[in-house]
Structure 1
Amino acid sequence: MGIFNRTLLILILWSLGQAGAQTPPHLRTPFIEDWGQVKPETLERQAKAFAGTFFIEGPGDRKEIALTFDDGPSDDTPALLDLLKKENVKVTFFWQGQNVLQYPEIVRRALAEGHVLANHSFSHPNLSKMEDGGMWWDYQMERTQQAFQKVAGFQPAMMRPPYGFLNDKQIKSLRDKGMTAILWSVDSADWFHIWQNSQDEMASSKIEAVIKQYIHPEAIVLMHDSGGRGRKPTIMATKALIPYLRQQGYGFTTVDRLLNIPVRQAISGE
C-alpha cells in the first residue's frame, strides 16, 4: 500500500472514531442550588483535567448505563437487592464504611449476587474540607478500605466523594494510590424528591421522570439506598425504570465494565 493510501486509511479510521465520540463529559441533569452539592462546572473541569482518574460518564455512545447507589447499606438495601436479582441487573454500590460494618451480611449478599462495591467515605463528610494532616484519607478513606477488607475480603479501587467534593490535590493522591473517583452524569436527586414529597408514589414518579428525561448512552446514574426517611420511592422508581429503559434499547452494566477500570485495589505483598 502506497503512502497516500495508508494516509487516507488512517484519516478514514480517525474520522469514524470521532463520529462515535461523545462531547466532553458533562452533567446532564439540572443543578439544585443551595443544597450543598458540587457544582456542575467543577465536576466537568475535574473530569477534563484528570481524565483516567476522575469520571462522570463513559467515553463513548454504547447504549449501556451504570446504575449506582450511594450511602448504604441500610435496612432498605435488601428490597433493592431482591428487585435487582429478579430483573438480573447488576449495579455499583458506593457505601459508607460505618454502614459496611453495621450490615456485613448485606455486604456479603450484594457481593455474592454480582454487584460491585466501592468506597463512599466512612461517615459522609465533605472530604475537600479535610485536607490538613491527611485526615480525609486516614479517617475516612482508609477506615472504609479496612472495613471492606474485614467484611468482604478486599479493598475497593473505586470511590465516590460525598456531595461530589474533592479538591485537585486529593484527586492526584487517589491517582497515586491507584484509585479512581466516580461521579455521575445523571443525578436522580432522589434524596430531594423524597424530602419534597411525603407520598412515596409522588416521590417515585419524580425520580423516574428525571432519569427518563436525561438518560443517555454510557450514563452513570446517581441514586441512594440509604438516608432520609427511607428509600422506598427510589426502589419503586428503579422497578419502573428497568423495563422502560430496556424498551428504549439500553442495557445495564457496572461502572468498572463501563469504564474498563479495576474493581479492587492492588495491595502490596499480594
Structure 2
Amino acid sequence: MILQIRRFLLFFTLFVFLLPQDMTYAYGWGYKKNTDHTVPDVGKYGDIIKDYNAYYADHSGEKNIYVTFDNGYEQGYTDAILDILKKEKVPATFFVTGHYVESAPELIQRMANEGHIIGNHSYTHPDFTTMSKQTIKKELDTLEKAVQEITNTDYQMQYLRPPRGTFNDNTLKWSSELGYIHVFWSIAFKDWHTEGQKGWKYAYKEVMDQIHPGAILLLHAVSSDNAEALEQIIKDLKEQGYTFKSLDDLVIKDQLPHFMNW
C-alpha cells in the first residue's frame, strides 16, 4: 500500500512538472461592479497585469474616457457608430478579428481614414492560454497583415485585447515581448447577444451607472442597443465634464514620467 502511494505521488509530481506551464491555468478578466463612479476593484488581476504593460483604466483621477469596441463580426451598426463618433469628435479603438476584417474591409478602411485605432483581437479568436508563443504570434501577425492589405499601408497594430478576455502570465509576457499592449476594461455589460437586446435605455443606464474617471469602456458593435444609445451617452458625459480620449493619449501620458525622469 505504501509503495503504491509513493508511485502515485511520483507519477503526479512528474505529471505536474512536465505539463507545459502555459497550459496549466487561465484567468478570465473581470471586475467588481459598482455604482460609486470609482475605478472598480479587479482583485488579484491588478497585481498580475501590472508588470506586463497592460491597462484596464486610467488611474490619474482625471475625467477621461476611452471608448473601445470589440468587432468579431458585422451586424450592420458600425457605420452608424462611426457617424456618431465623427459628429461628436470622439476617438475610439476597434478591436477586430480576422472574420471582421475579411467580411467588412470597407469599414476597416473607414476606421483608419477617420483616425480611429484598429486593435488586434486575434485572427481566429482562439484561447491564447492554450497556445505557444509562436502560434500566438502567427495569430497576431496574420491579422495585422490583413489590415495592412486593406488600408494599403504598413499599419502597425499596437493594442491587443485577448479573445474572451482570457489570459495568464505567459500570454501577457509573450504579447508584451511581441510589442503589444494589453487593453482590458473597467466598464462592460452583457450586450453581445443580438437576439437578447433590451432597448437603448438599458445600454445607456449600464454605462451611466458604472461610469468613472479614467474608464476604459468596452462595447460590442453588434448591439443595436449600443448603437442607439451611443450619441446620448456621449452628449450626457460631456455635460458631466468628461473628455473622450484615445488610448494613445493614455499610454503616452503614462510613459512620459518614466522617460523624463520626473
TM bin (shorter chain): 0.7 to 0.9
Q: Which amino acid aligns with 1:218?
A: G
CA–CA distance in structure 2, aligned partners of residues 122 and 170 of structure 1: 16
| TM-score w.r.t. length of structure 2 | 0.75
Map of 1:40-59 to 2, 5 A cutoff?
40-41=42-43, 43-50=45-52, 53-59=53-59
Q: Secondary structure of 1:68's match?
A: strand
Instruction: From 27, 31, 34, give the equivalent of 1:27.
Output: 31
Change (3 A) 1:85 1:98: same
What corresponds to 2:242 in structure 1?
250
Q: Secondary structure of 1:260's match?
A: helix
What corresponds to 1:260 in structure 2?
252
Map of 1:51-70 to 2, 5 A cutoff?
53-70=53-70
What corresponds to 1:241 in structure 2?
233
1:166 to partner: Cα distance: 1.7
User: Which blocks of at least 5 consecutive residues in structure 1 are unaligned?
Assistant: 1-25, 31-38, 263-270
Map of 1:163-242 to 2, 5 A cutoff?
163-191=164-192, 195-197=195-197, 202-226=198-222, 231-242=223-234
Aligned identity (percent) is 30
Q: Does the CA-based 8 Å contact 1:59-1:259 persist in structure 2?
A: no
CA–CA distance in structure 1, aligned partners of residues 189 and 240 of structure 2: 18
CA–CA distance in structure 2, aligned partners of residues 40 and 238 of structure 1: 26
What corresponds to 2:24 in structure 1?
none
How many residue pairs end up in the alignment?
216
Q: Does the CA-based 8 Å contact 1:71-1:225 persist in structure 2?
A: yes
CA–CA distance in structure 2, aligned partners of residues 122 and 249 of structure 1: 37
Q: Does the CA-based 8 Å contact 1:148-1:155 persist in structure 2?
A: no
CA–CA distance in structure 2, aligned partners of residues 28 and 213 of structure 1: 13
User: Which blocks of at least 5 consecutive residues in structure 2 are unaligned?
Assistant: 1-29, 35-40, 255-262
| Deviant stretches of 4+, over 6 Å | none
1:73 to partner: Cα distance: 6.0
CA RMSD of aligned residues (A): 2.4
What corresponds to 1:265 in structure 2?
none
1:40 to partner: Cα distance: 4.4
Change (3 A) 1:203 1:49: farther
Q: Does the CA-based 8 Å contact 2:70-2:96 persist in structure 1?
A: yes
What corresponds to 2:13 in structure 1?
none
The superposition leaves residues 117-148 of structure 1 with CA deviations (integer Å, 9 ceiling, x where unpaired) of 110111222221223x732332x212111112
Q: Does the CA-based 8 Å contact 1:119-1:160 persist in structure 2?
A: yes
Q: Does the CA-based 8 Å contact 2:98-2:143 persist in structure 1?
A: yes
The superposition leaves residues 220-257 of structure 1 with CA deviations (integer Å, 9 ceiling, x where unpaired) of 0000113xxxx221111212201110111101111121
Q: Does the CA-based 8 Å contact 1:126-1:163 persist in structure 2?
A: yes
